[in-house]
Structure 1
């Protein structure tokens, strides 16, 4: 009998009906268990215990507990209304658990993992020495076996009855997750309701990918504490998973039913894939040289394929990741884990859109500081996981405006450029539309820079150049020619490494054909670096940009 079936049978033996805590409607318990504790009337989520979580997330019969059994001691001899030792004994008797954390190995959609689940029934999922030790041992096991670590969290925070020793578990578990990061072993944290306090401020939010179950309350201080401290009403949806996702603090929010398949996809993209390979092709199509103004018009065409289009046409799977972890998630930058014709990569790109509504939502592909911080965060994740970085460049430039300046636009772009320069994984950038100024370069500091035949890349838009030099945009066509913004001109200048031919009429005339050419070019470029070591990749990129520019000696 599975863990889930054992728990369900025990519940059914003692009671047959239960009242939903969200809507108050009485539900038939066996039916509710089958529905994963999701109320059929209001859709509200009841809490799942540790064994249920394991049964719902892992492949059947794949779970094996870690051999070491860890229990809390009573280091302070603590007593409140009852002795701490008595509380522990009662919690063990009621739950059948040694302590908060169930830890072991298993598989998720056939991907081997180490998993640790916090059970809220055991003293509110609080983290004492035993919980900290169990999470740390799980992380150490993941490190030793090179398996990704999955943490499923439900906690009220640190355990007061163990005093400062409980507080120290934040550092212990944080170090354990840092060890995984340094070794390039992936980790995924699944945050459920509730996740608060010292657990949130330590291992729960240190995973490479943060997934929250829909409707979960997540934070540091509890809402009642915040209301009392501020003496003001909290915003609607405050501290819910959805609220935090909108503010860039979480990668994904998922339904309970969708957690296992999503987790399987993320883990597969983290761990499985074939090496980059060059595909056999015939001789490249000839590149047509057009006047710069004509090329610019094609590059700006609203029907031209976007980053999302290329992802859909090229990738076997893609999981978009969100947020800069500083309070924002800029939709002008799309990024995530992907399988590009079987090759694991991190894809990052500007996203303009095709309709007026999407153009406005995406700010015409002009990223704010949060977009560049998100891009850099995910580049660093790619480096930890040893994933090549593939970027798509298509923006008039970085977002202008008061908010962008207040948010540190220049600082964000500078950090993205410097951070991308230091990556020790292969980076291939493709200019697909309009590459404008530092907003484009911030995701284009690559080992190889490709450019579509009808794309443009420039220090400034021709219109702005004309306005600055002539007082109006009337000389834009002339400036477009003089700025040398087309692919053939930039290839001659050494700014780009190769031109990707487009179908007759441009990429917008046949997006699938254009995507095929782009995918082949990207994989060919990545294949050139399969024998490069980490430091060689960084040195190659540094040397590429070191030789840029022409100077004349003064004498």
Structure 2
């Protein structure tokens, strides 16, 4: 029987770059690369796997991942409906396809993202699959290849999407410690939380020709700081010139380059998988004593919208205590350390050594300022790559000296400027996440004001995370969420409530271990009283962490972030208000809440 004729319009395609009319079969034979101008069209995950893997060798990872809608998020559509539409349109269950394969005869684990699925955004289910891929790589002693194509973290899952950056970075840190090769393949586009975590956290970074990558996208840079963008900004060739990728490869050569890397890794010392601190399956979470969290956070009512927006405004109040203020009131004998030892000293990050009562500690924090002049000098608390490198330098020093690290978080986000992108903002944040994940000393993070996106998370991969009562912590600013999802920046109060960014929300979600009550009217009304409560909270948490052996400390930190990839609200999420301290039994690092009362 003769097959039906193919419509003529389906036989020809117009290149979006050069506008040439191309015969469809010719384009397919050329691996979806325009033969006239060399433009690389986006591939689906299935097409990418077919191009990279030996025929018939790809085997998807087994199992399923639960559907996640922890916030019951609704903008113009309910999030669940968006997921259903994406699944119907792509035939995928999530924005990534993971499995084992052979490339040129060499075994590897693949995690390939698909931009068609909600812009390749990173949510809890996506994070779970990629983390499982890393765990499979560790268990089998095989290299991990990550192919990224994403707009960043998924806003509809709020800060739980942000946590995936830490979860996957922790898993990759395990692979690096085991001596297993990790390779990132950057395809177009790769932005936001994906760029600032696993896409730049590997041993080798390969960019496909024409791919774009950055922490902040061009539109964000234009709209926020009004900078003109240089020609070819954030393209693969731009990234290569600025030292942010190892090589730029044409699509036709990509498989051969990966095969060479795998062959060289196989010829080296055979990697022996160590005892993982993450485990091969989502760990059971020890329930918080006396608490039973809800499965989801109820949909926000009008009063909750008002409360969330009030917290946002309070957290941004210029009168609130800054890191330098807390260093004078909570700590003693602070010695500030400057510089990243590469060529910069970011004023938005303050770091050094101090004392907390009888405990010598290292302190790293964002510094905003109290007036326009100081805020401008401190870049409004938005750190550059030099700031994150300085933070890592002081963290590593603390680990060598056996000192715990305390971080104070108050930033609208990392600096989105052209200079920051040229210096590798995404890679600097990713390196901070990876360093913190395996830092062999206790870490406590305190969100004192704004906890904005990856710029905040870079200092928050800690054993305990506390929040002041009026602080906020979010995957994106309410204004940014309102503009993108609600198509109206005036909807910021509604977006704030939908994002579940308050301390009370995040305590229920298990993202923070406890909240520190502020004096009446907020920390900005009584900075000394707020400092006393922060000091009390830190002293309630620190001694038990100091008593833990390093392997147990790292195991607990890995478990903390591993649970966020498993889908939704962790089983041990706490409710109520208080600071978190570990159980008296040192055999576990799971926290239980206590109330921090004013003196």
Flag the structure with more relative contact order, 1 or 2, with Cα contacts below 8 A and sequence separation at least 6.
Answer: 2
Larger radius of gyration: 1
TM score, norm. by length of structure 1: 0.47
TM score, norm. by length of structure 2: 0.44
